[in-house]
Chain A
Amino acid sequence: MDRRLHELEELYRARHAHFVRVARAITGDPERAHEAVQDAFADAIRSRRAFRGDAPLEAWVWRAVINAARKATRRPLVEVGAAQDELAPPPAVRELAPAVAALPERQRLVVFLRYYADLDYRAIADALDVEVGTVSATLAAAHRAVRQRLEEVQADA
């Protein structure tokens, strides 16, 4: 087995839950999320020799997962109602989900990578191919937007 393939397998095994969690947040569907992660790693295997190593391997794979998840989101589901067996979220976060969903895509992605994938700012910057400062500013904007949305919901209640 070549070294890169071994690294990809280690990354997959170590971070699978995080990849699926972010893919699910993007696609909104656990099955699509699973497919997106599988396809992203399969693409990574096929094109691993094109990886130049100027950013961490994980960031490179994150880009592939995000792209695969976005692509999966655009693809219509063949079967309706495939994801009906999800657990309901805890009451404390019920208002939070729509608030996050309402964020602009870039902010949502940063939130997902920060909290769903547990990436630090540097890793998020690598994954999204932006500066660390941009990540910081985007996350701050996302926090403000979510907080404002929650305050509005509480005021309405």
Chain B
Amino acid sequence: MHEAEVVLAAELEQLAAAGPSTTPDWADVVRRGRPPRTRRHAVIALPLVFLAIALPAVALSAGLRSALGLGSRPIPVLSRSHLLVGAPVGNGFYAQAWRAPSTTGGTCLFLTHNRSRHRLRPVLWNGGGSCSEHGGMQLNVTTAQLPLTPGISIGRRAKHGILRNWVPPIVFGAVYPKLHATRVVIEWNGGEHELALRGDWFLGGTPALYMPSPDKLPFNVVAYDAAGHMLAHKRLDPKILALR
């Protein structure tokens, strides 16, 4: 090599070393490398935060369970799912809440989302939820003192992701049966969004819940009776909405 090129080569190596380094993440590579169907579910499921306020079990999506090697944990028997409530949640998505027996003889309460308004029995668990290992599980744990138990499922909008694939935040929960609520609404400073109410279960979603500006706070889930009287309300944690 020419002497000038030796100097040049040394400087090029210095230039190469000037950039910041990043941390290797082989687990992420393996997740991305799974067949497309599995990968899509994992990508959707991983960022989910599901606040199972009403449920003591750890709330993990099926994809995350699989990624963490928790395959032996109970999961829903999807073919025996029973729809609790479903609703559009924005961005072309619909969400559903289901009850189903678990694979280990327990009970599951879980969410799904898809682009179909038809509430067909799910073939995939791609939302938040929880299962008990054995026996029945009290699904609606509301009481007179705790009349509303909203949970929220939030998927982080990927920085370089395709917006069309982003599922807006989903609010799901139960209302105390003796209140005889006829309407459940999310209200915030300057807006509201009505949730679907079926029996004692409510569900809905809107992009307005995603990382809202402080001037819109607080966000409350409010239950009303047929006469329009407020029966109960529960504030959604702003830190959760802001993904902090």
Give me the interface of A with B, judged by CB distance under 8 Å. 9, 12-13, 16-17, 20-21, 24-25, 30-35, 38-39, 41-46, 75, 77-79, 82, 85-87, 89-90, 92-93, 96-97, 100, 111-112, 114-116, 143, 146-147
Cα–Cα, bound, A113→B193 (Å): 55
Does the CB pair B8–A147 fall under 8 Å? yes
Does the CB pair B21–A17 fall under 8 Å? yes
Identify B30's interface contact among A31, A45, A112, CB under 8 A. A45
Question: How many B residues touch A, CB cutoff 8 Å?
Answer: 28
Cα–Cα, bound, A10→B101 (Å): 42
Min distance, Cβ B73 to any Cβ of chain A, angstroms: 23
Cα–Cα, bound, A39→B28 (Å): 9
- The tally of CB-CB contacts under 8 A between chains A and B is 93
- Residues from chain A with a CB closer than 8 A to the CB of B159 are 31, 78-79, 82
Does the CB pair A24–B11 fall under 8 Å? no
Does the CB pair A77–B160 fall under 8 Å? yes
Identify B18's interface contact among A38, A79, A90, CB under 8 A. A90
Min distance, Cβ B165 to any Cβ of chain A, angstroms: 13
User: Can you name the residue of chain A whose Cβ is closest to the Cβ of B31?
Assistant: A42
Identify A45's interface contact among B16, B24, B33, CB under 8 A. B33
Does the CB pair A111–B12 fall under 8 Å? yes
- Residues from chain B with a CB closer than 8 A to the CB of A43 are 33
Does the CB pair A41–B15 fall under 8 Å? no
Does the CB pair B33–A46 fall under 8 Å? yes
Does the CB pair B8–A87 fall under 8 Å? no
A-B contact pairs, 7 of them (CB 8 A): A12-B24, A16-B24, A38-B25, A45-B29, A78-B159, A89-B15, A115-B12
Min distance, Cβ A37 to any Cβ of chain B, angstroms: 8
Cα–Cα, bound, A12→B161 (Å): 24
Identify B8's interface contact among A77, A78, A143, CB under 8 A. A143
Identify B24's interface contact among A13, A24, A116, CB under 8 A. A13
